[in-house]
Structure 1
Amino acid sequence: MLRQSRFSRFTHRAAASLRACGFTPPHANHARVVVFDSAPWWPLRDDAANLLSPYESARAARFRHALDHDTYTVAHAFWRVALGMVLNTDPASVDLARSPDGQPLLPGTGLTTSLSHSGTMVALAIARGAAIGVDIEGFPSRTRLQDIAGILCTPAEAQTMSTLEGEARDRALLELWTRKEALLKAFGTGLRIAPATIDADIDRVIQSPDGIPRGQACRLYPLSMPIGWLGALALGECTSNHSLHHV
C-alpha cells in the first residue's frame, strides 16, 4: 500500500489508475511495464510537478514547448507514483539516482527501472532484476529513418532492410531503433555504444558490449502498443517474464 502523500490529488488518482489496470509490485525475476497517454493528466501538471526532484524540475524547465514540458512532468511524476507503490513510500521521497551515463538507479532496493516518452505517450518499466530498458516511438516517425540507417544497422541488419521498401522499411527501421534504444538503456551505456555495433534480434540472448562492467546479457521483447506506436523491452536474461499494463 502506498503511504499517504502530501501531494494527494495527483498521487491518489495515479495510484488508483495503476491499481485499476492490474499493476502490483513485481515479484522476483519479473518486470512490470505501464503504458499511458499523458495528455489527460496535463490538467494536474502543477500538482504532479510537486513530486519531481530538483534535477527533474530543472530538466522540465528547459523544454520550450508546453507538450514536451507537460509530458515530461507527468511522466516523471507517474513514474514516481509507481515506484512509491512498489517501495511503499511517498513518491517524492523515492531515491531515484542516475549513473554518469544517465541510467536511472534505485540504490539498495534490488530494483531496476526505465522510462520512455514520445509525443504524449509514456512507458515505464520496473523489475526485480539486474537490467531493464524500455523504449517507445510514434509511427510514422518524424525522423527520416533512412538517414539514420547507417548509424543504426549492423551489416546483416542493413542487408535485411535493403530487401524492404516504403512503409515496410520505415516500420522495420523504427522497430529496430526501439529495440536498440531499449538494449542500450538496459546495458546502462546510452549512445556511448554505437547502435550499429550490436545486434538486436528478438529470438536470442544478446551479450553486453565489451568493456561494460558487470554488464548482463539481455533478451528483447516487442510491446503491444496502441495504433500509431511501437515499443520494445530489454530484460536481463535472469528476468523470466513481464506483464504489460495499459492505463
Structure 2
Amino acid sequence: MADAWPPAPAGPLALAPDAVHVWRASLRPPAEVLARLEATLSPDERARAARFHFPQHRTAFVAGRGVQREILARYTGLPPAALAYREGSHGKPELDGAAGAAGIRFNVSNSGDLALYAVTVRRELGVDLEQLKPMPDGMDIARRFFSAPENEVFAALADDVRDLAFFRCWTRKEAYIKAVGEGLSMPLDRFDVAFAPGEPARILRTRGNPAEAERWTMLALEPGPGYVGALAVEGAGWHPVLFDWNAAA
C-alpha cells in the first residue's frame, strides 16, 4: 500500500487552484539538517530561538521555522532565507512582497515532535494538529468550550472513544478558527463541527451567520500514530495533496 504521506517531487512546485498541499514534518531533524535550517532564519527568528531555556524547545522552534521556509521556497522560487512575512488580520502570518501578491496562502500547526504545513493559492485555510493524550478532564473542558449540541454528542460517547473524539472536535474547531483568521476573538461555542466516530469532518452550523458554514470545507488528517489533525479550507472543489518533508530532506 502506498504511503499516504510520500516525499514531494524534487524541484519547484506549482499550486493548482483546486489543490491544497499539506506537509508533515518532524521537529527533531538530524543535527546537520537542523544547522542547515537555522542558517535560513531571519535575525529576529534567531533571536527568538536563543531565548528558549530548554534545548528541545529551541530545536523545535528552529526546525519549525526552517522547514516552513524551505517548503514555501518550493512555491515562490525564492531562497528560503529571502522569504519575508507580514501580519494579516488578527496577527495571522502571511507572505510579504511578490510571494504574497501571488496569492499563496499558508498555515502551520505543531504539537509534540510533529508539525503540519498547509499551502494553497487564493483560498484562506487553517490547519490544526494535536498529540493524543489521556484527557481525564475532557468533560469539564468540553463544557467550557464546546457548543451545547457538541456537548450532547460528546457526553453520549463511550468512555473508550471519548479522548479521541475530544481531539477530533478540538482540531476541527481550531482549524476553522485559524482559517477565518479571528483567533481567540471567536468563541468556540459559536459554531458546531461533526466529530462523532465515523462521521466525516465538516462544519454543521454557525451562529449569527448561518450561511458561513457553507463557505468552508473540512478534512480530517491522520499525520501518524498518536496524532490527529484537521484542515479547513475556503470553498469547495479542492483536493488534498499530502507530502512528508523529512522523507526528502
Q: Same fold (TM over 0.5)?
A: yes
The answer for the alignment partner of 2:125 in structure 1 is: 132
Contact 2:192 2:205 in 1 (8 A): no
Q: In the superposition, relative to structure 1, how do residues 36 and 84 fare at CA in structure 2: closer, same or farther (>3 Å)?
A: same
- The range that moved more, 188-197 or 98-107, is 98-107
Q: Does 1:110 align with 2:103?
A: yes
The answer for the alignment partner of 1:88 in structure 2 is: 77
**How far is 1:18 from its partner?**
5.1
Contact 1:187 1:215 in 2 (8 A): no
- The range that moved more, 83-92 or 147-156, is 147-156
**How far is 1:164 from its partner?**
1.6
Contact 2:201 2:220 in 1 (8 A): no
The answer for the alignment partner of 2:183 in structure 1 is: 190
Q: Percent identity?
A: 25
Q: In the superposition, relative to structure 1, how do residues 143 and 225 fare at CA in structure 2: closer, same or farther (>3 Å)?
A: farther
Q: In the superposition, relative to structure 1, how do residues 45 and 222 fare at CA in structure 2: closer, same or farther (>3 Å)?
A: same
**Match for 2:45 among 56, 66, 75?**
56
The answer for the alignment partner of 2:88 in structure 1 is: 99
Q: Which amino acid aligns with 2:190?
A: T
The answer for the alignment partner of 1:242 in structure 2 is: 240
Q: Does 1:222 align with 2:220?
A: yes
**How far is 1:118 from its partner?**
0.6
Write out aligned runs for 1:141-220 (5 A). 144-201=137-194, 202=200, 204=202, 217-220=215-218
Q: Which amino acid aligns with 2:55?
A: A
Rounded Cα–Cα distance in structure 1 between residues aligned with 2:62 and 2:229: 21
**Match for 1:69 among 54, 58, 65?**
58
Write out aligned runs for 1:15-34 (5 A). 19-20=8-9, 24-34=13-23
Superposed CA RMSD in Å reads: 2.9
Contact 2:12 2:74 in 1 (8 A): no
Aligned with 2:193: secondary structure? coil
- The range that moved more, 38-47 or 235-244, is 38-47
Residue deviations 1:197-242, cap 9 Å, x none? 112234556677769xx99921110012211110111111146111
Q: Which amino acid aligns with 2:230?
A: A
Rounded Cα–Cα distance in structure 1 between residues aligned with 2:160 and 2:219: 22
Gaps of 5+ in 2: 1-5, 195-199
**How far is 1:141 from its partner?**
5.2
The answer for the alignment partner of 1:123 in structure 2 is: 116
Contact 2:15 2:121 in 1 (8 A): yes
Contact 1:206 1:218 in 2 (8 A): no
Number of residue equivalences = 229
Gaps of 5+ in 1: 1-16
Contact 2:90 2:182 in 1 (8 A): yes
Point out the structure with the larger strand share. 2
Q: In the superposition, relative to structure 1, how do residues 203 and 169 fare at CA in structure 2: closer, same or farther (>3 Å)?
A: closer
Q: In the superposition, relative to structure 1, how do residues 221 and 166 fare at CA in structure 2: closer, same or farther (>3 Å)?
A: same
Q: In the superposition, relative to structure 1, how do residues 236 and 41 fare at CA in structure 2: closer, same or farther (>3 Å)?
A: farther
Runs of 4+ in 1 over 6 A off after TM superposition: 206-209
Q: Which amino acid aligns with 2:175?
A: A
Rounded Cα–Cα distance in structure 2 between residues aligned with 1:192 and 1:89: 34
**How far is 1:76 from its partner?**
1.2
Rounded Cα–Cα distance in structure 2 between residues aligned with 1:66 and 1:93: 26
- TM-score calculated relative to the size of structure 1: 0.81
Contact 2:104 2:119 in 1 (8 A): yes
